[in-house]
Structure 1
Amino acid sequence: MRLSVIVTGATGMVGEGVLHECLQSHEVERVLVLNRKPCGVQHPKLTEIVHSSFHDLKPIEQQLSGYNACFFCLGVSSVGMTEAAYRQVTYDLTMHVASTLVRLNPDMVFTYVTGMHTDSTEKGKSMWARVKGKTENDLMKLPFNAAYMFRPGYIHPTPGLHNVHKYYKYMTWLYPALRRLFPKYALTLRELGQAMIHAAMDVPDQRILEVPDIVRLATGKQG
C-alpha cells in the first residue's frame, strides 16, 4: 500500500519534521499540506492548500478527498490562555477537521500529536491535559479505519530544518545524555515521523502511544 497523506501544522517544528519524513519516504506517494500560511517547501509529490480558517473547510472540501492518512501536527501552547480559548483552538478545531476528513475518507488512518501526561480521564487539575484528553477520547470514537494518539516528550529536532523552537538551541547538546538516562521521555523528530508512517501502513492495535511505543514503531516493530 502506498500512502496519500494530509499533513497539518507544517509551519511548526513538529509538522515540518513529519512533512520532511513523508517527502523522503518511498511509502508515501503524495502529500497534501493544509496550512494557514505557506510552508515554503516545494517537492514533486507535495501539494499545498493555504486556507485561513480550519473551522470552516467547506470551500476546500473537494480537495480533501482521496487520502488514506492524516498526520495532524497542529497545536498551540496553553500558556496564558483560558480553558475556553484553548479548547476552541485545540478540541473544537481538531474535531471539526477530523469529522470532515472521516466523512470524505472513511478508510483514513488519523494520527494526532498530543503530549506526555495527557489526561484520559478529562478530570485532572491540568487544564491542557484535560482538553487534550477529551480530544484524544473523541477522536478515537470517530469511524476512521484507525486513530492514533501520539504522546511525545522532548522531541530532538531534525538537523537542517527551519521551524525549530528558539529554546531548543540551548537544549540540543543535552539530548544524548537525556536519551540515555531518561529513554521514556525523549525521542527524535525523525522517529516521530517514521512512526506515523508505520502506523498508517501497518495499523497496529495500540491506539495511545507513549515515547517508548513511538520509538519502537519507528523501527517498524509493534508490541
Structure 2
Amino acid sequence: MKVIVFGASGMVGYGVLRECLVDPEVTQVLAVGRRPLGREHEKLTEAVVPDLTDLSTVDFTGYDACFFCLGVSSAGMSEADYRHITYDFTLAAGRKLAEVNPDATFTYVSGMGTDPNGRQMWSRVKGRTENDLLALPLHAYMFRPGYIQPMYGATSRTTLYRVLYKVLVPLYPLVKRIAPGAVTTTEQIGLAMLRVAKNGSPQKILDPRAINAL
C-alpha cells in the first residue's frame, strides 16, 4: 500500500507518519508539506510545496490513501486566513486525489464540535471542509479527535499546546478513565487511519471512541 501524508511536521501528522513507516503493509510514503521534515527512511519520499493550493508538481498517481493531518489553531486568525489553510489546502489535496484515483481513501483530521452551522468560526470552516470532502468521488472519512495524547516523540508546533501537554501528561490516565470517549493518542489515530485505508469503515465521521475501537 502506498500512502500520502500531509502535515507530518505537526503532532498528529508525526504520529501518523510513524505508524505508516513501521507498518509492513505500507511500501511507500509520500510526505507533502511546505518545509522539509529533515528525516530519512527507506520508505519515505518528500514533496516540498510552498503553496499547498497548487499541487501540480506532485504526482498522486498510484497512491491508495491520503492522510490529511495538516491544521492550525484558529486563535488570533481571521476567518479568511483560517479558511485558506483549513479548507483550501485540504480540498486541493482531496480534489487532486479524486482526479487520479477515485477509488482511494482520504482521511481528514477535523475535531470534536465540528458543525457547518456552528457558532464558532473554526467549527463552521471545518464543517464545510468535511461536507465538501464527503461530496468528492473518494472513500472519505472524517476523524474528529478530542484530547490527543502525543506518543513516541510527537510534539505540537503550537507553544501553548506544548506547555499544556507537559502539564496534562501525568493526568492522562485519569482523564482516560473518566472520559474514555473524549481522548485518544497519536498512535491510535495513525493505526485507525491505516485500518480505514485497508478495510474501510461503516462510519464516515469518527469520534474518539470510534477511532480507538478501530
Q: Answer yes or no: same fold by TM over 0.5.
A: yes
**Identical counterparts, % of pairs:** 50
Asked whether the equivalents of residues 155 and 162 of structure 2 are also in contact (C-alpha less than 8 Å), the reply is no
Question: Displacement of 1:107 after TM fit?
Answer: 1.5
Post-superposition offset of 1:59: 2.5
- 1:191 and 1:215 in contact (8 A); partners too: yes
The superposition leaves residues 27-74 of structure 1 with CA deviations (integer Å, 9 ceiling, x where unpaired) of: 2111000011111221111111111111111123xx221101000000
**Of 83, 86, 92, the match for 2:79:** 83
Letter in 2 for 1:30: Q
Match of 1:97 among 77, 93, 105: 93
Matches of 2:46 and 2:208, distance apart in 1 = 30
User: Shift of the alpha carbon at 1:89?
Assistant: 1.2
CA distance in 1: counterparts of 2:24 and 2:207, whole angstroms: 26
- Equivalent residues of 1:8, 1:74 under 8 A apart: yes
Q: Which runs of 5+ in 2 are unaligned?
A: none
Alignment match, 2:117: 123
Aligned residue runs from structure 1 range 171-186, under 5 A: 171-186=168-183
127, 136, 152: which one aligns with 1:142 = 136
Partner of 1:170: 167
Is the 1:16–1:163 Cα contact (8 Å) retained in structure 2? Answer: no
Q: Secondary structure at the match of 1:79?
A: coil
Q: How does 1:57-72 map to 2 (within 5 A)?
A: 57-60=55-58, 63-72=59-68
Shift of residue 102, structure 1, vs aligned partner: 1.1
CA contact (8 A) 2:12 2:154 kept: no
Query: Aligned in 2, Cα 1:161/1:92: closer, same or farther, shift over 3 Å?
Result: closer
Contact 1:179-1:186 at 8 Å conserved across structures: yes
Aligned equivalent of 2:126: 132
Report the CA distance between 1:15 and its aligned residue: 0.4
Amino acid at match of 1:42: E
Q: Secondary structure at the match of 2:62?
A: coil
Q: CA deviation at 1:163?
A: 5.0
Q: Distance in 2 between matches of 1:181 and 1:161?
A: 24
C-alpha distance in 1 between matches for 2:13 and 2:209: 20
Aligned to 1:41: 39
Residue type at the aligned position of 2:99: R
Residue in structure 2 matched with residue 221 of structure 1 by the alignment: none
Residue type of the alignment partner of 2:206: L
Identify unmatched segments of 5+ residues in structure 1. Answer: 218-223
Q: What one-letter code is carried by the residue in structure 2 that aligns with 1:214?
A: I
Cα separation, 1, equivalents of 2:31 and 2:148:
21
Q: Deviations over 1:113-143 (max 9, x none)?
A: 0001111xx2221110011001001100000
Report the equivalent of 1:220. Answer: none
**What is the deviation of 1:13?**
0.6
CA RMSD after TM alignment: 1.2
Q: State the one-letter code of the partner of 2:177.
A: R
Give TM-score, length-normalised by structure 2.
0.94
Output the amino acid matched with 1:10.
Answer: A
Q: Residues 155 and 80 of structure 1: is their aligned pair in 2 closer, same or farther, counting only changes over 3 Å?
A: same
Partner of 1:114: 110
Match of 1:153 in 2: 146
